Structure 1
């Protein structure tokens, strides 16, 4: 059972590459310990793309006339990850990986008829280098520990249309790299392909500086942003010959994440002292999947993910709240080589900002994973 289920799992974990999700509005490549438990030496490269469609309209009760449509304000994007797993000894394994944990691409169409944020754009980029160790304390219990170096930067060019007047705000942030850590524990029962892993990822604090410009005024600002801490519970077990049931639960501390340059709070873009990116409610993300090995070369998986909506007011640069998704994946294996192709549909949860309401939004993701054992 366990040998077959390992082949199935190579396909099942493709949930990480089938298209970035919208947790907290900026999640791109969520962390997983899956590669650490692959047998032997392996290198994996993943390439993913996601095309969302997020639009809304002005709601009543604001200074703007209700009903004006925003147009699609979220652009498509791609991600990539690279990971290598190496056994260091009989009891110790190491994973080195590069990924892009967070990101945002915002572009309100400039052709919308009177929408107050028409022409506003913003981008957030990140990259992380992770080293993760696994040490077997007993045949069934392992301890996990690692270091994560995260780099982040961003910029924004906002417009606010108020009648014939157009107010502007621009931000160019520094690029900062700072450390965090990972700790965890795992239990395994290989004869039934069972494993449970509990991991904690620390928050990472970035001290940014940036140039802010608004209506002819310019300032050099400093602010602190903490990317969220999280707790991840992953589990799997064989339920029949060549069939694996797997899933995860992840808590993410989005209530500690904000981007608040000083000058921004003094502009009309800030409502009641709001930040450029305000904290949102913490999220719980649930994933459940089934993988099956059809023969020596082919396996497949079906994966469902759900993140409940909080109902809180969110920012105009990330007007989403929860999501549901379904992914299909197929893996081809021939000796040391493997290739996984995944397709994911995401129903993006509706959300309210201080001026608009966004609903009936969705997106498609596609991903390719290539693996080589050496």
Structure 2
């Protein structure tokens, strides 16, 4: 069997939806995808996505509903891949690997989470090289420069009474983590059988440690500044697979595992007030996706994919009021010789969850809200140019 559906067609289709970050572990948004290194020939690609979440819930204090605490966001990625001969190639990849956009509306004096928010922005630049040992085996490795900045506010009755300048409380606590850049690396290997478009590639992404200049405040009054908060973004493993199953037809799958339990955010004042707790509480987890790609003509290809992230444990953070997810995506690509335009849509069903905090009086964790029937819709597109 000779497969006529090009391996690069699946990559072009998937890139548009990968940019949406609507279905990812923890604060993942790009899955740290480096599969651009496997494109055929010299290729430049630009991808854009926009995500429309619907995260609505009910306050356990019966103070009302939370109307969509998830804010809409964009995600971009770009790559340039070039061949240099003698089995060597390289790709420069820019993406936004991590992010958070959460805001609870409501009165912090009557609701459990009114005013609580989390914002995280990131960019990364990855230079990865590949060496083909022979037609079947190759190695790839590179360096990554990652930049992050963030801000978190804890607000509402779940964190104690409204701060009045005298009563110890975290209601009205805020922390700003100034922009910081740090370095990491990627390394991996792949096995291929080109005649059937078979490829199995495993990539390891190192943890990256950031030292943020930090300002902490209560009700707008600075309580600690000039300190440093050390935060690690997670190490992770990506397994990308594809194979032809018939002429013009390709099956693909990917699995990602990210070790988030070491991603702790514990600024000095907050740590002192809570006995060393972290503002974040994210489980290690994995996501898995499988899909089918089909070439309908020389100009047009399409794909469908389904995926899942299993539920975690019972600790649900108000900064991510979901537990597990499943999704389905549809995409298409139109090829105009040197230019390929891809687009797609993804629907994600987000698992029901009850965000928790510790009771300021008893120290025990208690459910503070209930989020049900949450979802997200993501739209993505990409343009690839071969030269």
TM-score under structure 1 length normalisation? 0.91
Alpha carbons of 1:14 and 1:217: their partners in 2 closer, same or farther (altered >3 Å)?
closer
Deviation at 1:112, TM superposition (A): 9.2
2:376 aligns to what?
Answer: 363
Indicate whether 1:219 and 2:224 are aligned.
yes
- Output one character per residue of 1:112-167: Cα deviation in whole Å (capped at 9) or x when no partner: 99322212332111100000111011221001111011111111344224898353
Instruction: Write the distance in 2 (CA, Å) between the matches of 1:224 and 1:11.
Output: 37
Deviations 1:251-299 (A, max 9, x none): 11011112111212355xx5x7532212x22111111000000001000
The residue that corresponds to 1:100 in the other structure is 96
Three-state SS of the structure 1 residue aligned to 2:37 is helix
Match of 1:77 in 2: 73
Are 1:205 and 2:209 an aligned pair? yes
Q: In structure 2, do the counterparts of structure 1 residues 214 and 172 end up closer, same or farther at CA, with 3 Å as the change threshold?
A: same
Counterparts of 1:22 and 1:290 in 2: how far apart (Å)? Answer: 18
Q: CA–CA distance in 1 between the matches of 2:332 and 2:25? A: 29
User: Which runs of 5 or more structure 1 residues have no equivalent in the other structure?
Assistant: 60-64
Secondary structure of the structure 2 residue equivalent to 1:181: strand
Inter-partner Cα distance in structure 2 for 1:214 and 1:205: 27
The equivalent of 1:62 in structure 2 is none
Q: Which moved more, 1:280-289 or 1:324-333?
A: 280-289
Deviates more, 1:339-348 or 1:159-168: 159-168
Aligned with 1:109 (options 105, 108, 122): 105
Aligned position for 2:180 = 176
What displacement does 1:245 show?
0.3
Picking from 242, 254, 259, the partner of 1:236 is: 242
The answer to whether the Cα contact below 8 Å between 2:4 and 2:247 also exists between their aligned partners in 1 is no
Q: 1:186 to 1:242 in 2, by over 3 A?
A: same
SS at 2:328's partner residue?
strand
Deviations 1:337-372 (A, max 9, x none): 110011000001222322223221001000010010
Matched, 1:247 2:253: yes
Q: Which position in structure 1 is the counterpart of 2:167?
A: none
- Shift in CA distance, 157/90, structure 1 to aligned 2, threshold 3 Å: same
Query: Which residue number in structure 1 is paired with residue 7 of structure 2?
Result: 6
Change (3 A) 1:339 1:214: same
After TM superposition, the score normalised by the length of structure 2 is: 0.88
Aligned to 1:310: 312
In 2, Cα distance between equivalents of 1:112 and 1:273 = 24
1:48–1:366 Cα contact (<8 Å) kept:
yes
Aligned residue for 2:155, secondary structure, equals strand
- SS for the counterpart of 2:134 is coil
Contact 2:110 2:156 in 1 (8 A): no
Q: Which has the higher mean CA deviation after the structures are superposed, 8-17 or 46-55? A: 8-17
- 2 CA distance for matches of 1:24 and 1:40? 32
Q: CA deviation at 1:32?
A: 2.4
**CA 1:165–1:37 in structure 2 vs 1: closer, same or farther (change >3 Å)?**
closer
Among candidates 332, 335, 338, match of residue 333 of structure 1: 335
Q: Distance in 2 between matches of 1:259 and 1:308?
A: 24
Query: What does 1:17-32 correspond to in 2, within 5 Å?
Result: 17=18, 19-32=20-33
Q: Distance in 2 between matches of 1:255 and 1:283?
A: 9
Given that residues 11 and 291 in structure 1 are in contact (C-alpha distance below 8 angstroms), is that contact kept between their aligned partners in structure 2? no
Which residue number corresponds to residue 194 of structure 1? 198
1:274 aligns with 2:277: yes
What root-mean-square deviation, in Å, do the aligned CA atoms of Structure 1 and Structure 2 show?
2.1
Q: Which 4+ residue blocks in structure 1 deviate beyond 6 angstroms?
A: none
